[in-house]
Structure 1
């Protein structure tokens, strides 16, 4: 879903976007061709989808964001019936595909379109409502910071943002919200900066990790990714390819453990017990691929990108086993409604 705004797209009639991260590498891995069927679980601006059906393939493209689906309608109309857009969670991608598919691609995380829209509240570069909801429904980031207990916020900021000042920030939020609730991105970012301080040599803003943590929590991004990997296992044909692009260690660790465990390993963690050998549902994962220096120079957001690819075997899919991921225990998101 990594894309940027531009002019008009020649093929689809919609807005043109920047080339998605690791596009050439993803296409080489998936090997699209006429007659093949793919699921693009993170449609975004349609970069992967456009390239797949340009090679003659059919695509089921999914996105939680209704804006992405709306903006992709022109591309769908121009696809000659080879593109079907679905608004929904990619964790259910096996339900949206009508038949087994030749490949699944996931570009995990927030899109640059969402980051660039101040009204979506994903970034503090532009002031906007403290929202962060990809699906534009359910609890928002403002709900979390204005209702959750400091201990719960500390876990969210520390585990999902790896923020070393998590406890201090959580206590500051609790103290300030009683007199002035946090409703905008700038209000929260400035409050964090005032507390933590900012050295001129700091590469990132002191609120960056808290915003990342809130976004991941509000959208259950790690849980969605884990469920999507099992869904991909169920929908892929024997020989089908799973290609996943991640942008930080929490996501990449989930993909790495899934592919290792489904290839017959324990999931790649010394903290997890070895499991009895079972028929592998994926072959041995291919070597992880990073963005080239040239791509990272063109698009700084590609610098942290990693692509992992695995090939589906003929063995039947296995029951979901979320213990392989070692996901952190976090507060329930419905807590805020009960508190109210």
Structure 2
């Protein structure tokens, strides 16, 4: 699927340039004894998102994708880099008041259990100057597939899927131009996952809202996204149109991720790519390619010493489809 094709960055709703986010581990005692460590959660990440487009950030837990989301909405301040919304540079103050809303991973934790659904939805409506809150609450609940009568109930009386619908309704209450969904179906039953994903796809299409999906669920990503960016240890290692990346993965990490997808047809034998070792310490990442310690295509000193840049293939006519911005950060991607 492709709702839209971004012809130039001038049409971008969101532009992220060279984003970095570092954290410092340890407390006061560690600082006194010089034992604090700098954790490189996000390192030089750049991407753009067009109007009514869905982009997915994919990767293992700890790869930095959720940190990107939280930095975009002002929970974290960037260490370096720029965030632009519709061409305007976003300062911390502007980020917090921008038309960007985050749908949190755990709806149960993000919803105030002591308030009714109606009061939860009324808060952002009133902040936006909407005085006709009751009518708008009914509209929002209907839009996400819930009966308006549930507004008098508390979140604890709903199932996980229903709570996520309430969380989506709350995000829509601010009339956002960009939604960020951080693992929106994590922990839900498979049948419920499909309904929530279809709901997000329907809402973004109907409302013209851009969507950034943060996920490790490759099935979800393939269903809903126009483009995907693969992250490993804070960096983007492959990017491109969703179908291009899924059909012609170029980076060995992407191939390993895709090999883990469950195929329901028993006649199709998928070769699982097992990655050796563990993720490196983010406070002491490899000097060269960050994937070099686990890479099945490791070729020696160049991998240890040089971190490859995202580059289009120049020799392989099968990959990428030229003009689709399909790039990989690997020393062997031309092969």
**TM-score scaled to structure 1, two decimals?**
0.26
Structure whose residues are more often helix by fraction? 1
Of Structure 1 and Structure 2, the greater strand share is in: 2
TM-score (norm 2): 0.26
